[in-house]
Amino acid sequence: MRHLSYFVDNVPLGLKEASLYDSVKIAALSVMQSGSIRGVDLQTAIREVAANYIGASGRMVLDGNGDRVGSDFEIYGFDGVDVAVGWIYLGRFDSETGDSRIFFSQK
């Protein structure tokens, strides 16, 4: 599996953080472009902004449903009941190979 590095202002990010950063930035840019916060108004703006956006997690390409095409995903879950909740790394999807690796840990 290839190793990818993501950066914002020369600060390294994980895939989760890079994708979240890009999602929030595209949403904000789409609100600015459309002048609205209504979903129906944002649909076209999001597609236009994403089509021209190269962010922390790479080029953003959306399919007809608005789903990101050709992107890797890290899969996380939450751990913690009645205690502090934390992220648990569960696996990864590699868009280049189509492989998913899921890791389950037993306590």
Sheet (strand 86-94) strand order:
73-79, 86-94, 99-102
In-domain check, residue 82: yes
Count of domains for the chain? 1
Token pair of 44 as six digits: 């076209």
SS3 40: helix
Per-residue pLDDT tens for 61-74? 777 777 777 766 67
In-domain check, residue 107: no
In-domain check, residue 1: no
- The pLDDT of residue 2: 41
In-domain check, residue 98: yes
SS3 23: helix
Per-residue pLDDT tens for 45-60? 988 888 888 888 777 7
**Structural domain containing residue 38:** 6-102
